[in-house]
Amino acid sequence: MTKIIFDTDPGGDDTFALLWLQSLAKQGKAELIAVTTAEGNVDSQQTFINASKVLSVGGFEEVELARGVTVKKSQVADAAYIHGMDGMGNISDNLPKAKHDFDSAVYADDLIIDKLNAYPEEITIIAVAPLTNLAAAETKSPGILKKAKEIVIMGGAFKVPGNITPHAEFNIFYNPEAAEKVFASCDNIVVLPLDITEQLIFTPEMAEDIVRNSESNLTQFISDLCNFMTETNLRYRQTKGKKGFLVHDGAAVAYLFYPDTLLFRRAKVEVETLGNYTQGKTLFDERFQAKSDANAWVALQVDKVGLLASLLEDLNFLCMKYHF
Report the catalytic residues: 248
Phi, psi values for residue 112, rounded to 5°: -60, -45
CB-based contact 69:136 (threshold 8 Å): yes
CA-based nearest residue to 260, from 314, 297, 306: 306
Between CA 310 and CA 321, with CA 315 as vertex, the angle to 5 degrees is 130
For 324, other C-beta atoms within 10 Å of its C-beta total 14
Residues β-bridged to residue 191? 153, 298
The DSSP code for 25 is H
User: Hey, what amino acid is at 320?
Assistant: M
Query: How many angstroms separate the CA atoms of 53 and 12, rounded?
Result: 13
User: Hey, what amino acid is at 236?
Assistant: Y
Query: How many angstroms separate the CA atoms of 220 and 229, rounded?
Result: 14
Q: In a 3-state reduction of DSSP, which class is residue 201?
A: strand
Phi, psi values for residue 90, rounded to 5°: 60, 25
